[in-house]
Structure 1
Amino acid sequence: MRLADAPGAQEEIRIDAPAAVVWKLVTDIGLPARLSTELQSTAWLDGATGAEPGARFEGFNRHPYAGEWRTVSHVVGLVPERLFSWAVTDPDGRYGGGEADPAHPIATWKFELEPDGPEGAATLLRQSVRMGPAPSGISVAIARMPDREEELVAMRLEEFKAGMRATLEGVKRLAEEGA
């Protein structure tokens, strides 16, 4: 798979808690930083205090090969207790993709919630990511080693999947403890 194909990954988990409980966790932008090895911290921008259409938040990331960088994410999809998605941009131009534009993100992330079980007592939670179309850290690696593009993309997708599994398992644990 090549980066130009806009590759993606998805993980899902069943949580024994209603969507309302899970929703509060997945829209807490600070939670993934507590569960992730890459995302270090997040903060709402422009006076936003929670997930709402058009709200922005910054994230600070660290990776053993890519170093440290900042992103700004834009909430691009929001359906209470069903969908929370955000487009990640490169506000500092680190990857040379031009002006940070949520219509041209370095990645798009999404949580989807689906009521499950009798009377929605449980929730099927999916997290997914789609890479590109704007350049990102993987673009830099591919430029250095173009003959290894498919391998590099596959490795990055596996890193994303491992991070999503950790996040989903953390959400499950917290939701089930609080439900």
Structure 2
Amino acid sequence: MSQQDPASAEASIDIDADPAAVYALITDLPTLASLAEETQAMAWSKGDSVAPGAVFKGQNRNGAKTWTTTCTVTDAEPGRTFAFDVRSLAVPVAHWRYDIVAGERGCTVTERTWDNRPGWFRKPASMATPTWLEDFANADMSWVFDATGLV
């Protein structure tokens, strides 16, 4: 699945905040990990800043199940775009993309994800995260920005 294909899930929110502040929040790994439901920690493993090619690891938990993901930054344009590919055990899992568009008052943030898991990997992966895509599709992003005081 490529970025030209429709996203598997998408959500947008208008925020009365400067696009640079929103970008700083989205790209701060400890903050992002603290706001994500399954992610316990994120840390840079190749490079130490947001740039295409930089790699970070995610430590994840869902109940008693734990796993690690490797994420490679694909796009990083301050105040505008942050995107990364996710792999687990070298298997493609997802592509996540955050687009920030400046407006009259603040900006609009659109979060998209593409489910890149190969067919054979979907069943074992669903044992760890049975409803992640459905949960995302029904989510309202405001809780993320509420927690940081940006909304």
Q: Please give the TM-score of this superposition, normalised by the length of structure 1.
A: 0.69
Q: Are 1:57 and 1:73, in contact at CA under 8 Å, matched by a contact in 2?
A: yes
CA distance in 2, matches of 1:173, 1:136: 37
Match of 1:105 in 2: 92
Displacement, 1:6? 8.3
Match of 1:156 in 2: 132
Does the alignment pair 1:132 with 2:119?
no
Displacement, 1:78? 1.7
Q: Are 1:12 and 1:125, in contact at CA under 8 Å, matched by a contact in 2?
A: yes
CA distance in 2, matches of 1:37, 1:54: 25
Q: Specify every segment of 5 or more residues in structure 1 that has no aligned partner in the other structure, as ranges.
A: 94-99, 145-151
Displacement, 1:112? 0.6
Query: Which of 73, 77, 85 in structure 2 is aligned with 1:75?
Result: 73
Instruction: Give the structure with the larger helix fraction.
Output: 1
RMSD of equivalent CA atoms: 2.8
Percent of pairs with identical residues: 27
Q: Are 1:109 and 1:130, in contact at CA under 8 Å, matched by a contact in 2?
A: yes
Displacement, 1:141? 5.8
SS in 1 for 2:20: helix
The code of the aligned residue for 2:35 comes to: L
The code of the aligned residue for 1:122 comes to: G
Match of 1:57 in 2: 56
Query: Which of 132, 140, 150 in structure 2 is aligned with 1:165?
Result: 140
Match of 1:149 in 2: none
CA distance in 1, matches of 2:24, 2:81: 12
Point out the more displaced range, 72-81 or 126-135. Answer: 126-135
Q: Please give the TM-score of this superposition, normalised by the length of structure 2.
A: 0.80
